[in-house]
Structure 1
Amino acid sequence: MIYKVSILFLLFMIYSILGWLMEITYVSFCEKRFTYNRGVLIGPYCPIYGIGVITIILFLNKYYEDAFVLFIMATIVCSIIEYITSYLLEKVYNARWWDYSKKRYHINGRICLSNALAFGVASLVVMYVIHPFIINFLYTFNSNIIIIISSY
Structure 2
Amino acid sequence: MPKDFSDPKKLGFMRLIEVFFACNVVFTISLLVFVVKGGDELGFGEMLDFANLVFDGVSLWLIWQRKHLARHFIIGFSLFNIVVGSAYNLAMGQFDIVGQLIASSSDIILLVYFLTSRRAKAVLTQPFSAEIKHADLQRHIDFYRPRTWGFWRNLIIYFCVFSVVGHWMEAGYCTLIRFGLIPGIYDPNSQIWSDWLYPFCVYGFGAVACVLLLFPVKNFLQKHLKGHALPLALSFVVNALVCTGIELAMGLMLNQPGPDGAYPLWDYSDMFCNFMGQVCLQNAVAFGIVATLMTWVVYPGLETFLARFSKDVMNVAFVAVVIVFCILFFFYCVNVLLPDFDASTIAAEAEAAAAQAQQAQPTAPESG
TM-score band, normalised by the shorter chain?
0.7 to 0.9
Deviations 1:84-142 (A, max 9, x none): 22233336xx9622111110111111111111011111212222222222223333342
Show CA shifts across 1:25-83 (max 9, x none): 12133224x87723xx9943322222222112211223322112211111111011111
Q: Highest relative contact order (Cα 8 Å, sep 6+), 1 or 2?
A: 1
Instruction: Work out which of the residue numbers 164, 169, 189 in structure 2 matches 1:17.
Output: 164
Task: Kindly indicate whether the alpha-carbon contact (under 8 Å) linking 1:16 and 1:47 is maintained by their aligned counterparts in 2.
Answer: yes
Q: Distance in 2 between matches of 1:127 and 1:46?
A: 20
Query: Does 2:242 match 1:77?
Result: yes
DSSP 3-state at the match of 1:45: coil
- Report the Cα distance in structure 2 between the residues aligned to 1:88 and 1:9, rounded to whole angstroms: 26
Aligned to 2:308: 140
Distance 2:322 2:306 in 1: 15
Report the count of equivalent residues: 150
Correspondence for 2:291: 123
**Relative to structure 1, is the Cα distance of residues 44 and 18 closer, same or farther in structure 2, using a 3 angstrom cutoff?**
same
Q: 1:53 aligns with which of 189, 201, 207?
A: 207
Q: Find the counterpart in structure 2 of residue 105 from structure 1.
A: 273
Distance 1:30 1:119 in 2: 16
Distance 1:134 1:20, change over 3 A: same
Gaps of 5+ in 2: 1-147, 180-187, 223-230, 324-368
The answer to whether 1:89 aligns with 2:254 is yes
Unaligned segments of structure 1, at least 5 residues: none
For 2:320, give the aligned amino acid.
I
What is the aligned-residue RMSD (CA, Å)?
3.1
In our comparison, the structure showing a higher alpha carbon Rg is 2
Matches of 1:44 and 1:134, distance apart in 2:
23
CA distance in 1, matches of 2:287, 2:175: 18
- SS of corresponding position for 1:128: helix
Shift of 1:150: 4.4
- Correspondence for 1:5 among 134, 141, 152: 152
Q: TM-score, normalised by structure 2?
A: 0.36
The AA in structure 1 aligned to 2:250 is T
Deviation at 1:3, TM superposition (A): 4.0
